[in-house]
Amino acid sequence: MEDSFTSQQTYIDEFDSVEYLKMYYDQEQAMLSEWTDFALQTLHEVFSAGGIGGDTIMDIGSGPTIYQLLSACEKFKNIIISDFLEQNLAEIQKWLKKEPGAFDWTSYIERVCKLEGNGATCEEKAEKLRNKVKEVLRCDVLKENPFEPLTLNPVDCVISCLCLEACCNDMESFCDVLKHLKSLIKPGGCLLLLSKLNRHYYSVGDQRFSALPVTREGLEKALKDAGYETMEIKVADQNYQSKILMLYAKHK
């Protein structure tokens, strides 16, 4: 069964949130900086350019991470965090409640404060983000209503980083998921997707998790087929090892 796409039960049983943070977000691990450099810089640019903002932003497949919301928290009054796994939501809650053992995001917060250059301290920025997170919810993007049995009001913006490729085993399913997300966005609102291209899997500890190897063209087509209008695409510099990109699309 080596080749089958990772099941939801495997995620529930095997995804180790603490190990994921250690492998991909611990500053000691230099291999990660290409992703975080790109994500922090790109999200800073997208949110500071104006145009994207409003009442509520929803992060889909947040995992145990908050770096992706550091720039967004300047532009939205409310933030909804969501993931399929309870263990990831528990990690987020630990950080929100400043509990012992919570992951230390200080260096990420400092980097975003520096990019924003408005004199806010790391503590002030962290408090701003904490205060804006109004919900931490379980979701399953494979469901037509990812928050079933809840029905949420559509939001101004949905953001999702490295998640959809981890849930969908083909482009048809990817397109269906984009349609599910569309129902969570107000008409005229936007979707921000951050992805690594052509990746077949990622590892957490000894466990491999499947990824759908997406291309820029495939993503653009899926967005079009799902009824979005692509507004902007940014691809990381050539000197990055793996191709990574940000897609900004509008719910027409």
Ligand X SMILES: C[S@@+](CC[C@H](N)C(=O)[O-])C[C@H]1O[C@@H](n2cnc3c(N)ncnc32)[C@H](O)[C@@H]1O
Which CB sits closer to ligand X, 118 or 151? 151
- Convert residues 171-210 into a mask of x (bound to ligand X by CB under 6 A) and - (unbound): -------------------------------x--------
Q: Do the Cβ atoms of 71 and 159 come closer than 8 Å?
A: no
Judged by DSSP in three states, 222 sits in: helix
Kindly tell me which of 86 and 124 has the beta carbon lying closer to ligand X. 86
Q: Which one among 36, 43, 52, 61 touches ligand X, defined by CB under 6 A?
A: 61
CB of 215 to ligand X, least distance (A): 18
Token pair, residue 84, equals 């399929």
- Indicate the DSSP class of residue 69: G
Establish whether 131 is an annotated binding residue.
no
User: Where would I find the H helices in 26-121?
Assistant: 33-48, 86-96, 106-116
Q: Is 225 known as a binding-site position?
A: no
* Footprint (CB under 6 A) of ligand X, residues 3-22: 11, 15
Among the listed residues 36, 63, 192, 226, the single contact to ligand X using CB under 6 A: 63
Known binder of ligand: residue 202?
Answer: no
User: In the sheet where 133-138 sits, what is the strand order?
Assistant: 133-138, 76-83, 54-59, 155-161, 185-196, 244-251, 228-235
Site residues (CB under 6 A) for ligand X, limited to 143-172: 161-163, 166-167
CB contact set of 62 (below 8 Å; sequence gap of 6+): 68, 81, 82, 83, 88, 92
Annotated binding-site residue numbers for S-adenosyl-L-methionine: 20, 25, 61-62, 67, 83, 88, 140-141
